[in-house]
Chain A
Amino acid sequence: MQNAYEGGTLVAIVAGIVGYFVILRRSSFAAHSLSHIGFAGAAGAAVLGVNPVYGLLLFSTVGGTSMAVLSPRAAHRDVSIGLVLAFLLGTGALFLTLYVGSDAELAYSILFGEILAISNNWSQPLSCGGLCGVQLTAIASVILLAAVAIVYRPLLFASLDEEVAEAKGLPTAQLGIVFMLLIAVATSIAVQVVGVLLIFSLMVTPAAIAQQLAKTPIRALIISVAVALIATWLGLFIAFFTLYPVSFYITTIVFVLYIVVRFTKPAMNKRGVRRVVP
């Protein structure tokens, strides 16, 4: 249980931060796709008998890089994301057929998350190669946060004003690849908590709440992480005393928060609604 809190805390911090850039760059579809692609990778890892997290990481990073390389401009990326998603999900179908084990729980935990499984080697029959659960999550989180700290201002600039950033000499195409890799690593570790299908609850909803509440990137990042943390801790706490899955509580908490913020905000902000159409 302690491992679950540690792992969940790391995941919430990482997802809250990367999620803000996902919102800013309008890349929800990319985040969604990379988590699904990760499922194919996890299935492939299961076929080979290795830790599913490695499959997740491999597939989502390869998928993310392909998407960024196929369309260097973030604005025109939908088609290439769809192409890569369909192809790699197809391999996932193949891997599921090849997987001869009878571990239905594995597929379920990848799809819907099972953070309590972080405490052990994710799926016990599978070998872990030395790095498992919280350890692996911690290493991935530290690398990811260091990367965000380095690219922070250029990535922010390229997300808000790509053409000016490019003219100022920033490598916007390479930043696009770095951003996709950030999403890939963040989704791979977040899947352990909320699963492939519910990734938005930690990667998008907290950041969407933050963007409603804060107008400066630093404040938005702090709120986004705080919301992800509260939802994860509260979800784990409630799940511990009930029979139902953590991911259900987390998705419900962030959704309710979003609705509350969304529909109480216009009252606070009425003065700014003016929009002059030229």
Chain B
Amino acid sequence: MISTDNTGSDSAAISAENLGAGYGGNSVWRNASFDIGRGEFVAIIGPNGAGKTTLFRLLLGLLQPLSGRLEILREVPRRGNPKIGYVPQSHAIDSDTNIAAIELVRLGFSGSKWGFGLFHQEDRDAAAEALRAVGALDLADRSLGQLSGGELQRIFLAEALVSNPDILLLDEPLSNLDIRRENDLIQLVNKIVRTRKVTALLIAHHINPLLPYLDRVVYMANGKVATGKPTDVLTGPNLSELYGVRIEVLHDSRGNLAIVGIEDTQDEHET
């Protein structure tokens, strides 16, 4: 058992031990221990306020752990780690933003460099390459304010990929997409994970569209964190323990899961 743990953390992209997080001393979750291997596609699922984005803030070095130990690519997390590509949940882009998409992707490459950079064009080539990787080269000269939700997510993904990161952190990239674009984006992330050997952590609300592609799921609720293969974590007894109420996991003929007992609690309150 101990030896498998050791080999696990050697090849681990992310490794947490008794990790606890929170703001101003107030704990959001604690006692999280897990390893995420290199090149894995991982979904982070849980209700609002469970601390999914908090985990990202820890990994980005924007927040310090309250307790325990966290390593990312065998280093302590630090701000500005070039091996991490990040797509936050919210962006300041609105329909008035008349800037070509490629300009934003370029900034992902050279935006943290001081100076005017008038004579450096390598960021333009890198940006074009990243746009090609997400299948959005045709959007390069379109204005950000005129892109649809799905097109924008591709641009943000290119912005994160342009510095050639080993780890991608995607905060709810699916939240404003219809089912078809949701599927397109999941397949795109999966392709990037498999072809570039990138580790991707994706925060989502619904597990079903992701299930066919996932290597691992991180489930957060009630101040606790459970991780493992989807089939191992998403079981009735496991989730019942995590949430502290009785939960059933139902399977349909196509392999979809229905988790009964938590996701509707808010609606039940209202009725």
Contact = CB atoms under 8 A, between A and B. Distances in A.
A164 B114 contact: no
Contact of B117 (A75, A152, A162, A216): A152
Nearest to B142: A272
B237 interface: no
A270 B150 CA distance: 21
A157 B107 contact: yes
Contacts of B151: 276
Given A167-B86, A278-B178, A153 B146 contact: no
B60 interface: yes
B223 interface: no
Contacts of A161: 88, 91-92, 104, 107, 159
B103 A216 contact: yes
B8 interface: no
Given A169-B80, A215-B98, A216-B99, A276 B115 contact: no
A178 to B, nearest CB: 12
A151 B116 CA distance: 8
B86 A160 contact: no
A214 B108 CA distance: 21
Interface string A161-203: 1111111111000000000000000000000000000000000
B113 A153 contact: yes
A165 B98 contact: no
Contact of B143 (A157, A167, A215): A215
A153 B143 CA distance: 19
Contacts of B108: 164
B68 interface: no
B176 A164 contact: no
Contact of B115 (A152, A162, A164): A152
A150 interface: yes
A217 B97 CA distance: 11
A278 B112 contact: no
Contacts of A167: 60, 62, 79-80, 84, 86, 88
Interface in B68-90: 79-82, 84, 86-88, 90
A232 interface: no
B231 interface: no
B153 to A, nearest CB: 10
A149 interface: yes
A156 B100 CA distance: 13
B31 interface: no
Interface string A209-243: 00110111100000000000000000000000000
Contacts of A76: none
Interface centre among A168, A272, A275, by most B CB within 10 Å?
A168
Given A168-B80, A169-B79, A278-B178, A154 B143 contact: no
B146 A273 contact: yes
B112 A170 contact: yes
A275 B95 contact: yes
Which residue, A150, A156, A159, has most C-beta atoms of chain B within 10 A? A156
B110 interface: yes
Nearest to B87: A164
A212 B116 CA distance: 23
Nearest to B91: A161
A273 B19 CA distance: 48
B121 to A, nearest CB: 12
B212 to A, nearest CB: 22
Given A152-B117, A215-B99, A162 B92 contact: yes
Contact of A156 (B62, B107, B141, B160): B107
Contact of A157 (B79, B111, B178, B181): B111
A166 B81 CA distance: 11
Interface in B128-184: 141-143, 146, 148-151, 159-160, 176-178, 181
Contact of B141 (A75, A164, A166, A215): A215
Contacts of A217: 99, 103
A27 to B, nearest CB: 12
B92 A164 contact: no
A274 B146 contact: yes
Given A161-B104, A216-B99, A278 B92 contact: no
Contacts of A156: 107, 111
Contacts of B143: 215, 272
Contacts of A154: 111-114
A165 B79 CA distance: 10
Q: Which 4 A-B pairs have the closest CB atoms?
A: A169-B80, A157-B111, A276-B148, A163-B88
7 contacts: A152-B116, A153-B114, A164-B108, A168-B111, A169-B79, A169-B81, A276-B148
